[in-house]
A and B are shown apart, each in its own frame.
Chain A
Amino acid sequence: MTDAFLADAVLSLRGLRKNFGGLRVTDDVSLDVLPGEIHAVIGPNGAGKTTLIHQISGFLQPDAGQVFLAGTDVTRLPPDRRARSGLTRSFQITSVLPGFSALENVALAVQARSGSSFRFFGHASGEETLNSQALAMLAEVGLAERAEITAGVLSHGEKRALECAIALAMQPRVMLLDEPMAGAGHDEGQRLIALMMRLKARIPMLLVEHDMDAVFRVADRVSVLVYGRIIATGTPAEIRANRQVREAYLGEEETHA
């Protein structure tokens, strides 16, 4: 907590470390997400990107190190408490509540931050405050017309948009995005990039992404993760120019391109 540069960071990782058996999947990872920025984490397959997201969001406990949310140590909090504190995450594979309508999916996220859910009486579907906020979020991601559709039958792109609406409904202080472009078509990808650019002033993001074009377009800063360790952090231009990075990662990609 004495770290000076913690002061204005929304999210800070300090010395995160995680082993799976003999394999070190997260190796002394420290980074910060500052207000108004998109901080991307890139790295080849198996670099430990998703494991890192799991540790930040609380689905995995790190063996060592700390996670600070706006200066508060949340390392020991379970995922639901972190979520309620404003640390919102997405999943690499779309994750919605398939049996509920799109509106109900978002209304549940509104419900999580507005009043107790230990209410056994009164129809949740009749709560106007929940529905109106949920509908506003669906409108923001262009799903207003699909509000009554069961989430399980939405198209892949619509599910991705629904996840965004759910995330927005939680009024996050910072968002963790786990490969949002995975499985997205070209148009959908463009829409997601536009959405990220529109939101980042309001909601800083930690973006884990495989799609290099997307990363270099939206990210303010980039960290490169190789074998669980961050080998460089800088602006997209700096990262592109970094020789170590080119050798470890980009060079390899470019020869394929």
Chain B
Amino acid sequence: MLRSSRIIPFILFAALAAIPLLGLFIRDGYVLSLISRVMILAIAAIALDLILGFGALVSFGHAAFIGIGAYAMGILASHGHDGFLTGLLAALAASALFALITGAISLRTKGVYFIMITLAFGQMAFYTASSLRAYGGDDGLTVAARSLVMGGKLLKDDRVFYYVVLLCLIGVYGLCRTIVASRFGRVLQGAKQNPQRMQAIGFSPYPYQLAAYVISGMIGGLSGFLLANLTEFVSPAYMSWQRSGELIVMVVMGGIGSLHGAIIGAAAFLLLEEWLSGFTEHWKVIFGPMLVLIVLFMKGGILGFIQRVTGGRHD
């Protein structure tokens, strides 16, 4: 119990906390911005892992929540409501509502149908955003500045913003860890393992899966809110189906059903992408086969590989 499942997240968070300190010497805003992006997408990947890894719900439209969170921030800011708390609450509320409605419908289906219907809802969100002429349509929406904290431009400093994102990541990770170990988490995992047995015990999986879907959607919304703040730009591209696919890849590549695997997956995905695209614009030709190899030869993703190498127990 004490081994990899506790030590690895601790090392991850410590390393992330140390990066800006290294930046004192490198003086490179680019690194801070890149790692901020990694952490923001890690938040979304954890959100997906909560329902995918612990509920076997393969959502192929999870990028929609990133987009909804981002648009909530961007649209409010464009009307002059640029407070941090206002934007955050709007992002959470909007993504919760979208998750509640789409989840209530999607969760009536199973397996491949669930994948297809979440994809369809994701595409709906994408095209809706593209048609928002008042907010940039296809071109997206430039946000004037990061959200204000108590009327002050605290987040303008990249380092401060970095630590805010890191705190959100740790908070989300802690929350999901707690949920997974709770009574609720047990029911969710039971429904993943054997829904029929759960019904015979007296649990209907549906309300639990829906609640998990809404929680996951809200965390995705948080991720989008932070992304809009990082880039000071909001675009329909945030919720394209490719983005949803990338989130699934991150979770699977990092190690599904572990939560911190999602952080590793997001980091590996984005850093590889960044690194490879430095060599050639056809980096996807290299990246694609690499993903295939990781999935084929690293059972349990990168995390499973680490655990086997370090002799940690696999659970």
A-B contact pairs, 18 of them (CB 8 A): A80-B201, A81-B202, A83-B199, A89-B200, A95-B194, A96-B197, A97-B190, A97-B194, A97-B197, A107-B186, A108-B187, A109-B201, A112-B202, A120-B178, A120-B184, A121-B178, A122-B183, A166-B201
Could you tell me the distance between the alpha carbons of A95 and B194 in the complex, rounded to whole angstroms?
A: 8
Of B181, B201, B202, B203, the residue contacting A124 (CB under 8 A) is B181
Who on chain A is nearest to B178 by CB? A121
User: Any chain B CB within 8 A of the CB of A179?
Assistant: no
Could you tell me the distance between the alpha carbons of A100 and B189 in the complex, rounded to whole angstroms?
A: 9
Could you tell me the distance between the alpha carbons of A125 and B183 in the complex, rounded to whole angstroms?
A: 8
Could you tell me the distance between the alpha carbons of A122 and B179 in the complex, rounded to whole angstroms?
A: 8
User: Any chain B CB within 8 A of the CB of A155?
Assistant: no
In the complex where A79-B199, A108-B201 touch, is A123 in contact with B182 (Cβ < 8 A)? yes
A87-141: which residues lie under 8 A (CB-CB) from chain B? 88-89, 91, 95-100, 104, 107-109, 111-113, 116-125, 127
Q: Which residues of A contact B193 (CB under 8 A)?
A: 97-100
- Asked whether, in the complex, the Cβ of A117 is within 8 Å of the Cβ of B194, the reply is no
B183-234: which residues lie under 8 A (CB-CB) from chain A? 183-187, 189-190, 193-194, 196-204, 207-208, 211
In the complex where A78-B204, A96-B194, A120-B178 touch, is A111 in contact with B186 (Cβ < 8 A)? yes
User: Any chain B CB within 8 A of the CB of A84?
Assistant: yes
Could you tell me the distance between the alpha carbons of A99 and B186 in the complex, rounded to whole angstroms?
A: 11
Q: Give the residue among A96, A100, A108, A116 with the most B Cβ atoms within 10 A.
A: A108
Chain B interface residues toward A at CB < 8 A: 178-179, 181-187, 189-190, 193-194, 196-204, 207-208, 211
Q: What number of residue pairs across chains A and B have CB atoms under 8 A from each other? A: 98
> Which 7 pairs show the lowest CB-CB distances between chains A and B?
A83-B202, A112-B202, A84-B202, A80-B204, A79-B199, A119-B183, A124-B183
Query: Mostly helix, strand, loop or mixed at chain B's interface?
Result: helix
In the complex where A80-B204, A97-B193 touch, is A59 in contact with B182 (Cβ < 8 A)? no
A153-181: which residues lie under 8 A (CB-CB) from chain B? 166, 170
Who on chain B is nearest to A106 by CB? B201
Could you tell me the distance between the alpha carbons of A84 and B182 in the complex, rounded to whole angstroms?
A: 21
Which range contains the number of A residues in contact with the other chain? 35 or more
Could you tell me the distance between the alpha carbons of A100 and B196 in the complex, rounded to whole angstroms?
A: 15
- Asked whether, in the complex, the Cβ of A118 is within 8 Å of the Cβ of B211, the reply is yes
Q: Give the residue among A95, A117, A124, A125 with the most B Cβ atoms within 10 A.
A: A117
Q: Which residues of A contact B179 (CB under 8 A)?
A: 120-121
- Asked whether, in the complex, the Cβ of A117 is within 8 Å of the Cβ of B199, the reply is no
User: Any chain B CB within 8 A of the CB of A57?
Assistant: yes
Chain A interface residues toward B at CB < 8 A: 57, 59, 78-81, 83-84, 88-89, 91, 95-100, 104, 107-109, 111-113, 116-125, 127, 166, 170
- Asked whether, in the complex, the Cβ of B201 is within 8 Å of the Cβ of A170, the reply is yes
Q: Which residues of B contact A81 (CB under 8 A)?
A: 202, 204
In the complex where A78-B204, A95-B200, A108-B201 touch, is A124 in contact with B194 (Cβ < 8 A)? no
Q: Give the residue among A80, A100, A113, A122 with the most B Cβ atoms within 10 A.
A: A80
Could you tell me the distance between the alpha carbons of A13 and B29 in the complex, rounded to whole angstroms?
A: 73
Could you tell me the distance between the alpha carbons of A116 and B183 in the complex, rounded to whole angstroms?
A: 8
In the complex where A100-B193, A117-B208, A121-B178 touch, is A111 in contact with B183 (Cβ < 8 A)? yes
- Asked whether, in the complex, the Cβ of A79 is within 8 Å of the Cβ of B200, the reply is yes
Q: Give the residue among A83, A84, A166 with the most B Cβ atoms within 10 A.
A: A83
Q: Give the residue among B183, B187, B194, B204 with the most A Cβ atoms within 10 A.
A: B183
Could you tell me the distance between the alpha carbons of A91 and B198 in the complex, rounded to whole angstroms?
A: 12
In the complex where A96-B194, A97-B194 touch, is A80 in contact with B202 (Cβ < 8 A)? yes
Could you tell me the distance between the alpha carbons of A120 and B182 in the complex, rounded to whole angstroms?
A: 5
- Asked whether, in the complex, the Cβ of B196 is within 8 Å of the Cβ of A91, the reply is yes
Could you tell me the distance between the alpha carbons of A104 and B186 in the complex, rounded to whole angstroms?
A: 9
Q: Which residues of A contact B204 (CB under 8 A)?
A: 78, 80-81
Could you tell me the distance between the alpha carbons of A118 and B207 in the complex, rounded to whole angstroms?
A: 9
- Asked whether, in the complex, the Cβ of B189 is within 8 Å of the Cβ of A124, the reply is no
- Asked whether, in the complex, the Cβ of A57 is within 8 Å of the Cβ of B187, the reply is no
Who on chain B is nearest to A119 by CB? B183
Given A100-B189, A120-B179, A121-B182: 20 more A-B contacts, CB < 8 Å: A78-B199, A78-B204, A80-B203, A81-B202, A83-B199, A83-B200, A88-B200, A95-B194, A97-B197, A99-B189, A107-B186, A113-B202, A116-B183, A117-B183, A117-B184, A117-B187, A120-B178, A120-B184, A121-B179, A124-B182
Could you tell me the distance between the alpha carbons of A96 and B197 in the complex, rounded to whole angstroms?
A: 7
Of A59, A100, A120, A123, the residue contacting B190 (CB under 8 A) is A100
